[in-house]
């Protein structure tokens, strides 16, 4: 269909007249040219499977280009070929721009959320807990501080070694550990942090002082 249009008008004297008049600023001649060849430009855009809005944008670009090209068009009868070539070039340019945009917007591995990574708020909560623990630990009795420090050693120390360091029976390490942890939780800094956490339940009460 497009090739037939190009061939049949190639020697049409009306085309040369319309081009000459439009080049001199004749608005009516310009409208006739657009009406005559708009289907040609549209059909080429359709060959690239573009949407209506895309076809309209490309058509506008082609006609604006023709406005500047009319004075330099040496062979007015070749106008259909010029329009067809320009329309194809603009369609290819449009598709290339769309492809590049899609590649830029495609999420990378960095953009994709990784379930293995802790959410940002986790770091805040951890920092708050760490600060509360430091304050609470400083409020413990020296004996509890030494016991908990030894129990948190890596690699873990045998209870016998801990008992020797603290001069206490091995069997008392477990109960003493529970009492020290209970005192730690009751310290105001840590107790306030615990109460502020979502889903916090009232403590069940552990070993006394």
The count of residues in the chain is 209
Where along the chain do the CATH 1.10.1740.10 domains lie? 2-104
Tell me which residue has tokens 């855009």.
45
The per-residue pLDDT for range 64-101, each reduced to its tens digit, is 888 888 877 777 777 888 888 899 999 999 999 888 88
- Is residue 106 very low, low, confident or very high in pLDDT (cuts 50, 70, 90)? low
**CA-derived radius of gyration, the chain:** 41
Q: What pLDDT shows up at residue 109?
A: 52
Where along the chain do the CATH 1.10.10 domains lie? 120-196
pLDDT greater than 70 at residue 3: no
Q: What pLDDT shows up at residue 203?
A: 46
**Residue range 120-196, CATH number:** 1.10.10
User: Is the separation of the CB atoms in 91 and 58 below 8 Å?
Assistant: yes
pTM (two decimals): 0.46
The per-residue pLDDT for range 123-176, each reduced to its tens digit, is 555 666 677 777 788 888 898 989 988 988 878 888 899 999 999 998 888 888
Name the architecture of domain 2-104.
Orthogonal Bundle (1.10)
The per-residue pLDDT for range 4-38, each reduced to its tens digit, is 334 344 457 788 888 888 888 888 888 888 888 99
């Amino acid at each position: 269909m497009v090739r037939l249009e190009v061939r049949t008008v190639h020697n049409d004297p009306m085309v040369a007249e319309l081009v000459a008049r439009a080049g001199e600023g004749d608005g009516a001649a310009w409208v006739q040219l657009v009406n005559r060849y708009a289907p040609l430009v549209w059909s080429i855009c359709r060959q690239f499977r573009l949407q209506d809005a895309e076809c309209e944008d490309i058509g506008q670009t082609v006609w604006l280009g023709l406005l500047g090209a009319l004075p330099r068009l040496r062979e007015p009868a070749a106008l259909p070929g010029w329009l067809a070539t320009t329309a194809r070039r603009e369609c290819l340019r449009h598709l290339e721009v769309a492809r590049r945009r899609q590649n830029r917007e495609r999420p990378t591995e960095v953009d994709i959320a990784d379930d293995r990574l802790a959410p940002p708020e986790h770091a805040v909560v951890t920092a708050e807990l760490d600060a509360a623990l430091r304050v609470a630990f400083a409020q413990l009795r020296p004996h509890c501080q030494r016991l908990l420090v030894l129990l948190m050693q890596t690699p873990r120390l045998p209870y016998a070694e801990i008992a020797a360091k603290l001069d206490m029976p091995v069997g008392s390490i477990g109960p003493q550990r529970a009492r020290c942890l209970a005192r730690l939780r009751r310290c105001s800094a840590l107790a306030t942090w615990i109460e502020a956490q979502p889903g916090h339940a009232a403590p069940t009460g552990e070993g006394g002082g």
